[in-house]
A = this chain, B = another copy of it.
Amino acid sequence: MTEAIERALAEIRFDRDGLVPAVAQQHDTGEILMLAWMNRDAVRASLSEGRACYWSRSRRRLWRKGETSGQVQLLRELRLDCDGDALLLLIDQQGVACHTGRRSCFFRGWRDGDWVVLAEPVVAPEALYPETAASPAINFSRGRNGSQQNSSS
């Protein structure tokens, strides 16, 4: 297992920060749920545990998707692109992918000159993080327009 995973890693081209972008797609519907980042340890953990693990750039640590919210992504297949510098994860999303409670993080569309919200939350964000809602453990930073800048769920 370990040796096989090191063979998988050998074909992946990580960037100067040791990261590679990873797209999560619901395996049966084709829905794009999110884009996150993986380092070598995140790939190792994902392949050995059968669930999507990422590198959280904001928290600077391995992030087992759903570890706080329970919204786990079961890994069905890992795919690699032609030049080895992007990953596609075919997953089975338990619940929602987005920290806003929406199924997908890509819920804004550019239509007629504005960003339009295309989907509403299906779960209240407070229900995703009941113990951490008032805690700094999930460290949301605020962007220039006051929106939350962290997509962990």
Contact = CB atoms under 8 A, between A and B. Distances in A.
Interface of A: 4, 7-8, 10-11, 13, 21, 23, 25, 29-32, 34-35, 47, 77-84, 86, 88, 98-100, 102, 105-111, 113-115, 118, 143, 145, 147-151
Given A32-B32, A35-B21, A114-B7, A98 B79 contact: no
Nearest to A140: B83
A106 B79 contact: yes
Contacts of A102: 82
B11 A115 contact: yes
B111 A82 contact: no
Nearest to A75: B110
A104 to B, nearest CB: 8
A90 to B, nearest CB: 8
